[in-house]
A = this chain, B = another copy of it.
Amino acid sequence: SNSKKILILAGDGIGPEVMGEVKRTLGWFEKRRGSGFETEDGLVGGCSFDKHGVPLTDETMQKAIDADAVLLGAVGGPKWDNLPFKDKPERGLLRLRKDMELFANLRPALVFDALAEASSLKTELVKGLDIMIVRELTGGVYFGSPRGIETLPNGERRGINTQVYTTSEIQRVARVAFELARKRGNKLCSVEKANVMESGVLWREEVQKLGDTEYKDVQLSHMYADNCAMQLVRQPKQFDVIVTDNLFGDLLSDCAAMLTGSLGMLPSASLGAADKGGKRKALYEPVHGSAPDIAGQGKANPLACLLSLSMMLRYSFDQGEDADLLEKAANNVVAKGFRTGDIMAPGCTLVGTKEMGDEILKEL
């Protein structure tokens, strides 16, 4: 068939609520824009553990691999906090990333004009902010071995993880970042701790090599990760595209996300290698977590998940026009003053998850 297969993994906490609005919006695109989507639902995270005893079944894993795109809500919650390491909801997400080989995680940190005041930073420092963080997602300390906890002869225990990167792992994610930089401000900042870690030395060398050969036109700089954490707080607008490893990317992208003051607005895309037809495996998810404190109350902000849908339209299905349409709708709704609790401001109209979805549909 010609229709696009989308696997929907709503996950835990507010995942199902926000995904509900995504489904309604998908429906609109089918009806009004004639997009052919074939959606299927699956379980990941705590909900999968509850039903199947594992955070992700082999069957769902296979469906994710076979899908044209995966949409994910969020995983985790206090209910599963004390599960053994291998059963934790996060393991489901990590397996998806690894087995789909989604090595490039794109995390825009974008400040919506109407929400600039919501940042904890002074408004002038963040107004118009538009950073793209490209985080390596299938390597580094997240997946390196040896790993584990061992008991030493003297009775002490020792916890071990391994940070490891090969040339080709660094190159492929750097290429994604260079390409994105070309389409944006043409500036790339590569981040590691080459002053302390040999894996960082290799990272820097390989990125520099690409900069010296294939991407001479892109303005490349290097920064230590601690300094990057500082500079994000000090003067975030100095950045265009940032490329960094899995662990630094985890911290720095969350830091950058928080600069925008509106976590509930931030989408992300995780991409694999392009096949011969130029198609990439892809998973789209909001940056926010499962927010167990407000789950099931219809209060959650669906916009991050809706903007993840927009990233899917753009990156997986080449529906740039539809993506623009949806982004504009989100912008307008917020500009008109409709706000969920997380981005509420004086003088605005407080709405719930479903009402926010309604407003988006109205805009469309």
**Stretch of A245-253, A301-309, A321-329 lying at the B interface:** A245-253
How many chain A residues touch B (CB < 8 A): the figure is: 60
Of residues 150 through 174 on chain A, the ones whose CB sits less than 8 Å from some CB of chain B are 152, 156-168
In the complex, whether A226 has a CB less than 8 A from a CB of chain B is yes
A196-B255 in contact given A120-B122, A122-B122, A163-B160 (Cβ < 8 Å): no
In contact, B167 and A158 (Cβ under 8 angstroms): yes
A254 / chain B contacts, CB cutoff of 8 Å? 226-227, 229-230
A250 / chain B contacts, CB cutoff of 8 Å? 193, 196, 225-226
> Smallest distance from the beta carbon of A154 to chain B beta carbons, Å?
9
> Which one, B90, B159, B163, contacts A161 given CB within 8 A?
B163
In contact, B149 and A198 (Cβ under 8 angstroms): yes
A313 / chain B contacts, CB cutoff of 8 Å? none
In contact, A197 and B161 (Cβ under 8 angstroms): yes
Residue of B nearest to A197 (CB): B161
A193 / chain B contacts, CB cutoff of 8 Å? 247, 250
A193 to B193, CA, bound (A): 18
> Which one, B88, B142, B158, B258, contacts A166 given CB within 8 A?
B158
A251 / chain B contacts, CB cutoff of 8 Å? 225-226, 229, 248, 251-252
In the complex, whether A141 has a CB less than 8 A from a CB of chain B is yes
In contact, A157 and B202 (Cβ under 8 angstroms): yes
In contact, A200 and B159 (Cβ under 8 angstroms): yes
In contact, A159 and B201 (Cβ under 8 angstroms): yes
A164-B168 in contact given A121-B120, A230-B258, A234-B258 (Cβ < 8 Å): no
In the complex, whether A216 has a CB less than 8 A from a CB of chain B is no
Of residues 17 through 33 on chain A, the ones whose CB sits less than 8 Å from some CB of chain B are none
> Which one, B85, B120, B168, B196, contacts A234 given CB within 8 A?
B120
Contact string against B for A residues 75-98, beta-carbon threshold 8 Å, 1 for contact and 0 otherwise = 010000000010010100010000
> Which one, B142, B160, B164, contacts A160 given CB within 8 A?
B164
A34 to B227, CA, bound (A): 40
Interface of chain A, main secondary structure: helix
> A90, A165, A201, A247 — which one has the most chain B CB atoms within 10 A of its CB?
A247
A257 to B196, CA, bound (A): 20
In the complex, whether A210 has a CB less than 8 A from a CB of chain B is no
Contact string against B for A residues 183-221, beta-carbon threshold 8 Å, 1 for contact and 0 otherwise = 000000000010111111111000000000000000000
In the complex, whether A125 has a CB less than 8 A from a CB of chain B is yes
In the complex, whether A147 has a CB less than 8 A from a CB of chain B is yes
A263 / chain B contacts, CB cutoff of 8 Å? 230
> Which one, B158, B163, B229, B252, contacts A258 given CB within 8 A?
B229
A125 / chain B contacts, CB cutoff of 8 Å? 120
A165-B156 in contact given A88-B195, A259-B233 (Cβ < 8 Å): no
Task: List 17 extra interface pairs beyond A142-B197, A162-B163, CB under 8 A.
Answer: A85-B201, A121-B122, A141-B163, A142-B196, A147-B197, A148-B198, A156-B166, A157-B167, A159-B165, A160-B164, A161-B198, A161-B199, A193-B247, A225-B251, A230-B263, A234-B258, A255-B255
